[in-house]
Chain A
């Protein structure tokens, strides 16, 4: 019985992370226009914000959060990821956010301890 409970708790649930990540991005980026000098600050802030909230979930996971910000110039971008892990307990969540001048892509990977 104990084992069953711990395996349910210890799986990565993308839905929980979804709202968390969206709120983080909205909070930091709001209605900003692309400014080259501010991009490093934005990426750091988005990630720190996400990390803080992920830690608040208090789950036995290692996290990796990646954020990519790109200016809109009509160029295309592809992001791919491939993972060698334990499918039953590990998972990832990726979201794309955009406004008139830029794209922001955030990925969260969670790996069970």
Chain B
């Protein structure tokens, strides 16, 4: 159709009358958990290399910049993987903490002010050798 120099017709969207996610559209916690564990193990694999012949000696030493990069990569990777799971209309927040395992304790807590019937948080952690990593994914439904 030819509108000449006129503006495009205004698009009108009809209401879906949908207030929240349907049962099959809700985030599945075990699937997201599995994704988190898989990505964390992958990223930390480089830190677990052992010296040939010596059972307990690790080749890898804690390097501040390298771990910073690893944390950012893990974050992006988890976000991509959860997006690929395909939950429509969900906003995602991924938090990753990675550090050196030096015998210290770390406590992380979180509280959320959201809609409990549609929003969900999933966390996973991985400790091995010199490193620990924890990741938390918050999925919030948005109309």
Q: Using CB atoms and an 8 Å cutoff, list the residues of chain A in contact with chain B.
A: 36, 39-40, 43-44, 47-48, 51, 54-55, 61-86, 90, 92, 107, 109, 111
Tally of chain B residues near chain A (CB < 8 A): 44
- From B70, B74, B110, B111, name the one whose CB has the most chain A CB atoms within 10 angstroms: B111
Question: Does any Cβ of A come within 8 Å of B17's Cβ?
Answer: no
Number of A-B contacts (CB under 8 A): 140
Asked if A71 meets B104 with Cβ closer than 8 Å, knowing A40-B109, A65-B111, A78-B67, the reply is: yes
Question: Does any Cβ of A come within 8 Å of B10's Cβ?
Answer: no
Give the interface SS of chain A, mostly helix, strand, loop or mixed: strand
A39, B94: Cα distance in complex, Å: 24
Question: Does any Cβ of A come within 8 Å of B127's Cβ?
Answer: no
Asked if A83 meets B93 with Cβ closer than 8 Å, knowing A62-B119, A73-B102, A75-B104, the reply is: yes
A90, B138: Cα distance in complex, Å: 14
